[in-house]
Amino acid sequence: MPGKLSPSTAAALERHRLRFEELKGELQQIEFFCKGTVLRRMMRCGKPQCACQKDPAKRHGPYFQWTYNATGKTVTINLTPETAPLYQAAARQHRKLKAALRRLERLSATALSQRAKLIQSGSQRP
C-alpha cells in the first residue's frame, strides 16, 4: 500500500533521525577550533662549538610552533609557551569537529539510501 511504511522500516528511519539529532548536539559542544598541529621542538643553534650540535639532550628550547596547510602551502607560526596550550586545545577541537562531520555524513548517506529505496519502491512519496 503506497504511503505506508513497514514497522521495521519506520523504526530504522526513526533511529537514524534520532542519531542524527544526537550527532548535531555534539557539534554544539565544539569550542573555538583551528586546523593544524602544535609542535614542541628542541633546536640546534648555528654556533659550531655549542653543545647542542653534538648532544641532542642539550638542544635549545622547547619552542612551540603551530603548522597548518593553507592553499597548498604549509604555514608555520611560532607560539609562546603560554599560548601553545590554547592552540593545542583548538587543534583537538578541529579533529573532534571533523570526526563528528564524518559520522554525520555516513549516517546521512545511509538514511538517504533507505529513503531513496522507499521512494523507488513506491512505499513513500518524496
Between 48 and 7, residue with greater pLDDT: 48
Residue 126 lies in a domain: no
Query: Distance between CA atoms of 7 and 10, rounded to whole angstroms?
Result: 5
* 1 is a domain residue: no
Number of domains in the chain: 1
Q: Is residue 63 part of a domain?
A: yes
Average pLDDT of the chain to the nearest whole number: 89
The model's pLDDT over 22-43, given as tens digits with 9 standing for 90+, comes to 988 888 999 999 999 999 999 9
Q: Average of pLDDT values for 50-64? A: 93
- H helices of 1-126, in order, are 7-28, 84-121
* Confidence (pLDDT) at 121: 79
- Label residue 66 left, alpha or beta by phi (over 0 means left) and psi (-120 to 50 means alpha): beta
Mean pLDDT, rounded, for 69-83: 96
- Who wins on pLDDT, 67 or 2? 67
The reply to whether 74 falls in a domain is: yes
Q: What is the pLDDT of residue 1?
A: 40
Q: What number of residues does the chain have?
A: 126
The confidence band for 7, taking pLDDT boundaries of 50, 70 and 90, is confident
Answer whether residue 55 shows pLDDT above 50.
Answer: yes
Q: Is residue 17 part of a domain?
A: yes
Is 2 inside any structural domain?
no
CB 42 within 8 A of CB 61: yes
Taking a C-beta distance cutoff of 8 angstroms, is the pair 38, 65 a contact? Answer: yes
Owning domain of residue 60: 7-121
Q: Are 23 and 103 within 8 A, CB to CB?
A: yes
Chain-centre distance of CA 31, in angstroms?
12
